[in-house]
Structure 1
């Protein structure tokens, strides 16, 4: 493993930062609230032409498409150096050094042969870490040591049926419950006790969806707390207490690649799929079929997700960056930008990690595409199957980018 460390000689400064300015963690898929947003402020407003200061670069982590999570000064990611072993890797957020690595299972067998590898983001909850391997291996680990506390397999323990791209979702922790989707007719979705992995409830949905590529979110819609999931046959809302199916919408479903995490605001839910389009529905209490507010082929539907900021939805449609009015679907602007990309948000800015591995930062405004900077992380791996599909994350004033077996960490603090 090659590590470029550009923090040497700053131990006193680092101590002061962590003592007086606690890190704004990114503890799970798409950040603290699973909406792609960080509450950090005071980040760079002007950028060097070559990008912000590179703090460290770590190589040779292995293959895969898992986006990192980070908390307590440690970044976690799932990688595979062979098809026989996926492992959770812990890296020091200060210098990128490897702290530990723990195998959780093999690479999933039933996925497209072009891109086998890890996809899930580890979920950090206090001193525990929850990780799902692409073959359905679900493990609870000690976040400091990497030791496994308990494990399950979604296929063998719950009769699970993964989709075309194997298991790709990131587990949701809600209080004492862990929510995930084995797929299949026995337990399409399950709630497990996070302390021991024992089932709280199983939801065998009538349509017996395969596990999707999307990840669940928790929301209160029409007065009812529920889990919203984009499964293989559509987006559903399940009652949080029991797993009861409350509603289903199939208008944006792609049988092979329902990737986007649902965006929920009040009783409105947005989803999209690249080969289908994007749409918004209004969910009403007691109604099993929500009202479709709008649907268009050109709405944000890219794999890189969508971000809702002040009533505006930012995303991608094919190779185009796009901003729409969330409630009406009216297009505010469209621009080629850096093409298809994965997004996150902080301090009034959208950070885009392009499928070509370029990074662009734009203002989160409906007044047009306003690019602040664009740069390319150096020394990218040359033998990577697929494109740069991992999402960027922001933690403690740092921008973390992964592509293949390489992770870059940039200082974007103002």
Structure 2
């Protein structure tokens, strides 16, 4: 969201659409549509990536691998690439879901290869060798003044140079159902990853040339929504969406992996942090505000927000929360002032 406009995506009758909406009233400013598979394996399907706004341009990735750069003002196509053909990769089981990462003049994605395009022209800068596609987004890792990229695919954690895509190091981290779907969390020389299906989480230290394991455990098993790191503590959902009643919101010490508290009742939801508070969306559509503290779970308020399945992370801007259900219900709600 920027300058009174909200960018989102959806799927209707065999077509994906990119929408630019007015944040004040929800009216459509412009939209752009294209044919795309639904990819609704064990869920509702539709786009799985978040639009990335960079200055005058918005970058999106469709479930079928349709990469677009559009004018944020008009929705006009600046350039596009079809990743299945351009990268010589197959459609992953769950489609393409990497949100475009803008790094200087590059747009970088995880798509069965890590790939970099020139953000203004769409010219390919480099690509890595093929691997089992992951479903998260590359993360920036700075080491010795050199910008690197950390990605979690369904083979493992990969560190590559942002300048040419050359692999620096790799640590195997396999999922039993090829569902590594989170984005690495980077703080300094530390890289945290997490996977569902009882795989668990791990913290690695990057020495400049190699990854060294700090700890691993099964206390934070993110199925698809990432943890949030705040003041040395991770807040996230431990467990799988198919067993939502036993999923637990968990607070964990980032440095040691020690669990400080757990709380059931929100299902396999999503969360963000604002002003020292957790803004949580349960998988059934309840919006919850709680204190972001390692001492205990301290709920402040709760309201019914959306209906149906809710796996998409909400967005907060100027005191308003914007949320979307899996069926495309988009709702805006004002948070309490205190």
Normalised by the shorter chain, which TM-score bucket? over 0.9
Partner of 1:116: 45
Q: How does 1:6-405 map to 2 (within 5 A)?
A: 70-83=1-14, 85-107=15-37, 112=41, 114-183=43-112, 188-204=113-129, 208-221=130-143, 223-251=145-173, 253-275=175-197, 276-287=199-210, 290-318=211-239, 319-377=247-305, 380=307, 387-403=309-325, 404-405=327-328
- 1:254/1:73 CA distance change after superposition, 3 Å: farther
For 2:34 and 2:68, the matched residues in 1 are separated by 7
Q: How far off is 1:322 after superposition? A: 0.5
For 1:367 and 1:349, the matched residues in 2 are separated by 13
Structure 2 SS opposite 1:71: coil
Q: Number of residue pairs matched? A: 328
Q: How far off is 1:222 after superposition? A: 5.4
For 1:291 and 1:99, the matched residues in 2 are separated by 49
Partner of 2:242: none
Structure 1 SS opposite 2:86: helix
For 2:56 and 2:238, the matched residues in 1 are separated by 38
Asked if structure 2 preserves the Cα contact closer than 8 Å seen for 1:107 and 1:133, the reply is no
Q: How far off is 1:234 after superposition? A: 1.1
Asked if structure 1 preserves the Cα contact closer than 8 Å seen for 2:30 and 2:75, the reply is yes
For 1:248 and 1:73, the matched residues in 2 are separated by 42
Larger Rg: 1
- 1:365/1:317 CA distance change after superposition, 3 Å: same
| TM-score, with length taken from structure 1 | 0.76
For 1:142 and 1:223, the matched residues in 2 are separated by 33
For 2:254 and 2:161, the matched residues in 1 are separated by 25
What RMSD, in angstroms, separates the aligned Cα atoms of the two structures?
1.7
Unaligned residue ranges in structure 1 (runs of 5+): 1-69
Alpha-carbon displacement from aligned partner over 1:157-209 (angstroms, at most 9, x marks no partner): 121234210101111111110001331xxxx11110011100111222xxx31
Q: How far off is 1:360 after superposition? A: 1.3
Structure 2 SS opposite 1:237: strand
Asked if structure 1 preserves the Cα contact closer than 8 Å seen for 2:195 and 2:223, the reply is yes
Q: How far off is 1:286 after superposition? A: 2.1
Asked if structure 1 preserves the Cα contact closer than 8 Å seen for 2:17 and 2:32, the reply is yes
Q: How far off is 1:388 after superposition? A: 1.1
Asked if structure 2 preserves the Cα contact closer than 8 Å seen for 1:342 and 1:390, the reply is yes
Unaligned residue ranges in structure 2 (runs of 5+): 240-246
For 2:114 and 2:214, the matched residues in 1 are separated by 27
Structure 2 SS opposite 1:117: coil
Alpha-carbon displacement from aligned partner over 1:371-404 (angstroms, at most 9, x marks no partner): 11111126x3x6xxxx311011112221111102
For 1:336 and 1:113, the matched residues in 2 are separated by 23
Q: How far off is 1:116 after superposition? A: 2.8
Larger strand proportion of the pair: 2
Q: How far off is 1:304 after superposition? A: 2.0
Structure 1 SS opposite 2:300: strand
